[in-house]
Structure 1
Amino acid sequence: MTALLWLIPAALVLGAMGLLGFFWAMKSGQYDDLDGAAERILIDDDGPIVDEDER
């Protein structure tokens, strides 16, 4: 029974921290461009990578 006195507040605090972290991420724009990173990997705007030793 005494374990519940520690576990319930700990679960509530960790849940509140997760919720605050989610709201911070939403406010700071972490989820604004969901498709950008997925499309950016497909764009090949650089030439081939060549080491300086191979030239």
Structure 2
Amino acid sequence: MLSLFHYQYRKNSILIMGLVFALAYYKTGRLEVSIMVHFFNNAIGAIAMILMQ
């Protein structure tokens, strides 16, 4: 819901990732799975930034 009212430029991507995290939790019932999905998402972004330098 936060992305619907904030982050005007990245609203759709934040909404989609939030739905992915929620779906991971809903399917497994474990918050750890959502945290790991979030970690891997951030790791991919960090690695891409490092490689682009």
Q: Same fold (TM over 0.5)?
A: no
Structure number with higher relative contact order (C-alpha < 8 Å, ≥ 6 residues apart): 2
| TM-score, L = length of structure 2 | 0.44
Structure with the greater alpha carbon radius of gyration: 1
TM-score, normalising length: structure 1: 0.42
The structure where helix makes up a greater share of residues is 2
